[in-house]
Amino acid sequence: MAVKIEPSWKQRLEGEFAQPYFNQLTTLVRQEYRQYSCYPPGPLIFNAFNLCPFDKVKVVIIGQDPYHEPGQAMGLSFSVPDGIPMPPSLINIFREISSDLGKAMPTTGNLTRWAQQGVMLLNATLTVRAHQAGSHQRMGWETFTDAVIRSLNAGRDHLVFILWGSYARSKAAFIDRSRHLVLESVHPSPLSANRGGWFGNHHFSRANAFLAAHGLEPIDW
C-alpha cells in the first residue's frame, strides 16, 4: 500500500503497511473522513514521522489520542497550532519545564520545534472523529504505533521514552531499559497532575542529562 510518509520511516515500516490489518485500517479511516469531520487534517496524520526521521529521533513522548475539537490536532501529541489556546495538559507541561529548567512560559503550544530537534510526539491513535474522544481507538492504529515503538527500541540506542499516564506507561513493556531511558509519571492533565506526581518529575532535565551523557545534543525545551 502506498503511504505518504517520510522515506526512512517508510523503509522501516513497509512490513506493517503490507499487513491486512493496515489495509483494513486505511479503509476505515477513509470512510470516517468521508462521512464525518475528523482530525488531524489528512496531510498531517503522519506529521510526527515526517518532522522527525527515524535516525534523528532522540526522545519519544507517547500520547493517546489526537485533540478532538476544531483547529487543535496537528499530528503531534500534546501540540496545537500557533494561535490556538493551549489545552490544560500542555499548560502543565510548560509549567513543569519552567520549574525544571527555569524557562519562561512560551506564547504558543506549537511543538514543531521539538519535533525538528528529534522529539517524536507519537499518539497511539493517529486520528479521531470530531468531538468524540477515543472514537478511532481499536481500529488498528494501536497495532501500528506499537510496531513503531518496537522498531525504535530495536533499531536505535540511547533513546529517551517519556510515558505519562497509565496508558502510555503500558508501552514500557516494549522498551529495553538496558539501552534506553524510560521516564514515567502520572499524566499532565489537571485531574491527574493535581493529585501529585506530575510537578517536580524533572523529566525534561533528566532527558537532557541522559542525552548529554551519551554525546547527544540536549533538547531546547
Q: What amino acid occupies position 195?
A: R
Q: Which of 55, 65, 82, 220 is catalytic?
A: 65
What gap in Å lies between CA 188 and CA 26, rounded to an integer?
31
220 is catalytic: no
What gap in Å lies between CA 13 and CA 148, rounded to an integer?
8
Q: Helix or strand or coil: residue 184?
A: strand
Q: Helix or strand or coil: residue 53?
A: coil
Q: What amino acid occupies position 10?
A: K
Residue with cell 537532557: 208
Catalytic residues, by residue number, are: 65
